[in-house]
Amino acid sequence: MINKNSPIPIYYQLEEHIKELIEKGELLPGDALPPEREYAEKYKISRMTVRQAFTQLVNEGYLYRLQGKGTFVAERKIEQPLQGLTSFTEDMKTRGMIPGSQLIHFEIIPASKQVASQLSISEFAPVYEIKRIRLADGVPMAYETNYISANLIKGLTEQIVNQSLYAYIEGQLHLKIDSASQMIESSIANQNEAKLLKISKGAPVMLIQRNTYLKDGTPVELVKSVYRADRYKFMIQMKR
């Protein structure tokens, strides 16, 4: 497996070898990797080299370390295309995963100046403030906060938002969700987010803000989400 005469660095060869085992399913999420020492002995390479390969794979999200316990295979990240305007429910269904929501908060509140301006409504006009943990096969993936004009999207209930918001807007209200602008930036989970997402405080997350519009340009939602960086990566096709 390891060719010491190759111009390819040994740590890189080992890295590729472990990646291959993960991709082929010979190493599964949660599996413990043999200790660095074992790899070093087996391939007659230094432990430093093995550590370098492991560290690289940890940084790329293929592996994770548990203090005093060893190195383990991480869950595969969800590769989220950035082109289409889809809902969480649709995204999970296309992947054969079961979408779910855990409702944290549901209330009609007067719009703050900032929310009002983004939704093109007047300050203090009623808006739904909805906070949900989005689940894939029961695992928390994201913590989403939506602001939606209550005068535009009538009849929202806890039951509806426990299912799909987009399905209600399009299927029941017959409004056509048309476009969105989205901002993604990196951050770390605070105590509350960490608890809800079942990650450690300070773990990397991605903050996503989406402004979504109907066909005639009316803003339909303002969404602020915290996505687990260990479970998501974003993909976009480009052309020049």
Which of 13, 49, 71, 164 forms a contact with ligand 16G (CB under 6 A)?
164
Q: Pick the closer one to ligand 16G by CB: 22 or 208.
A: 208
Which among 216, 218, 213, 153 is positioned nearest to 182, based on CA atoms? 213
The one-letter code for the residue type at 193 is: E
Contact flag: residue 149 with ligand 16G (CB under 6 A)? no
To ligand 16G, the closest distance from the beta carbon of 37 in angstroms equals 43
What does the alpha-carbon distance between residue 10 and residue 20 come to, in Å, rounded to a whole number? 15
Stretch 61-90 residues interacting with ligand 16G (CB under 6 A): 87-89
- The answer to whether 130 and 225 have CB atoms below 8 angstroms apart is no
Q: How many residues does the chain have?
A: 240
Contact flag: residue 222 with ligand 16G (CB under 6 A)? no
Contact flag: residue 144 with ligand 16G (CB under 6 A)? yes
Count of chain residues binding ligand 16G (CB under 6 A): 15
Residue 140: CB atoms within 10 A of its CB come to: 17
Going by C-beta distance under 8 Å and a sequence separation of 6 or more, which residues neighbour residue 91? 78, 80, 99
Judged by CB under 6 A, the stretch of 21-29, 31-39, 186-194, 204-212 that binds ligand 16G is 204-212
To ligand 16G, the closest distance from the beta carbon of 48 in angstroms equals 41
Which of 51, 102, 210, 213 forms a contact with ligand 16G (CB under 6 A)?
210
Q: Tokens standing for 190?
A: 């605070």
To ligand 16G, the closest distance from the beta carbon of 213 in angstroms equals 12
**Helical (H) or strand (E) element with 12:** helix 10-23
Which of 223, 228, 231, 232 forms a contact with ligand 16G (CB under 6 A)?
223
Which among 35, 37, 30 is positioned nearest to 72, based on CA atoms? 30
Binding site for ligand 16G (CB under 6 A): 87-89, 144, 146, 164-167, 208, 210, 212, 221, 223, 225
